Amino acid sequence: MARVAVVTGGTRGIGEAISVALKDAGYTVAANYAGNDERARDFTSRTGIKAYKWDVADFDACVAGIKQVEGELGPVDVIVNNAGITRDATMKKMNRTAWDEVLDTNLGGCYNMCKAAWDGMLDRKFGRIVNIGSINGQAGQYGQVNYAAAKSGIHGFTKALGQEGAKAGITVNAIAPGYIDTDMVAAVPPEVLAKIVARIPVGRLGHASEIARGVLFLVADEGGFITGSTMSINGGQHMY
């Protein structure tokens, strides 16, 4: 039977590319999203992948979401924690809400989703978890204290949970994308983006499909010896 994969934030951007790549590779995919129903409906009609709406920052919603997916599609073997937001501001202007929202979604969401699926993975002695970090969690970024802290936290979370899953056949890895051509990056002012692209040795933004390719590699059944690692996919921008 096909393995079941849940991709958070799986209806747009990098998550959409991951959902489609997993489906094309034979996985049964559940694509989670937060609230953009129009984009989710369009995604499902184009791809045939069912979309599930819940907030990854809400623990009870994640537990209920995993339960619903398991009831409809079967036990969840793969989780890709991709959902993420930005609320950029310098420390001078960053209020507590901007801090909490980013930490609760980008890092809290990883805990919530892993916790909700963990016991089932332990029982079945198989699991593949991929957490989407960021180059800005590795290198820091002006105006992103909240985002850099959350994404940096993902890398520690990955190494710690990787140790816990190791004997139970569960791998936990991270991907740290560089700048990828999605709605999130389209929100960056053009003059700032031009300076960013000038610092990417490959000379362009990445494509979402180039992150999906890394996910496919990490979640493969044959990937049992790869755990606690971070794969940097950034066009050579940050060699870490």
CA dist., res. 162 & res. 121, Å (int): 13
Q: Which of 66, 83, 117, 121 binds ligand NDP (CB under 6 A)?
A: 83
Can residue 32 be called a binding residue for ligand NDP (CB under 6 A)? Answer: yes
Please provide the DSSP assignment of 139-207 as one string.
Answer: H--TTBHHHHHHHHHHHHHHHHHHHHHGGGTEEEEEEEE--BSSHHHHTS-HHHHHHHHHT-TTSSPBP
Residue with tokens 């049992």: 224
Closest CA to 180 of 14, 11, 10, 9: 14
Rounded to a whole number of angstroms, the minimum distance from the CB of residue 55 to ligand NDP is 4
Q: In residues, how long is the chain?
A: 240
> Structure tokens of 213?
């390719």
Which CB, 126 or 232, lies closer to ligand NDP? Answer: 232
Segment holding 50, helix H or strand E = strand 50-53
Using rule CB under 6 A, residue 14 touches ligand NDP: yes
CB 182 within 8 A of CB 168: no
Nearest to 204 by CA among 240, 238, 235, 232: 235
Reading the block at residue 62, the tokens are: 């994640």
* Residue 11 found at the interface with ligand NDP (CB under 6 A): yes
Judged by CB under 6 A, does residue 170 bind ligand NDP? no
One of 20, 21, 30, 34 touching ligand NDP (CB under 6 A)? 34
Residue 82 touching ligand NDP (CB under 6 A): yes
Residue 44 touching ligand NDP (CB under 6 A): no
Candidate list 28, 47, 105, 237; residue touching ligand NDP; CB under 6 A: 105
- Quick one: 65 or 126, whose CB is closer to ligand NDP? 65
Q: Is 35 in the site for ligand NDP (CB under 6 A)?
A: yes
Reading the block at residue 169, the tokens are 């056949």
Binding flag, residue 6, ligand NDP (CB under 6 A): no
In whole angstroms, the minimum distance from the beta carbon of 123 to ligand NDP comes to 26
Among 60, 123, 164, 183, binds ligand NDP (CB under 6 A): 183
Q: Taking CB under 6 A as the rule, does residue 215 contact ligand NDP? A: no
* Torsions phi, psi for 153 (to 5 deg): -60, -35
Q: Which lies closer to ligand NDP via its Cβ, residue 126 or residue 133?
A: 133
Could you list the residues that contact ligand NDP (CB under 6 A)?
8-9, 11-15, 32-36, 39, 55-57, 82-85, 105, 132, 134-135, 177, 179-180, 182-185
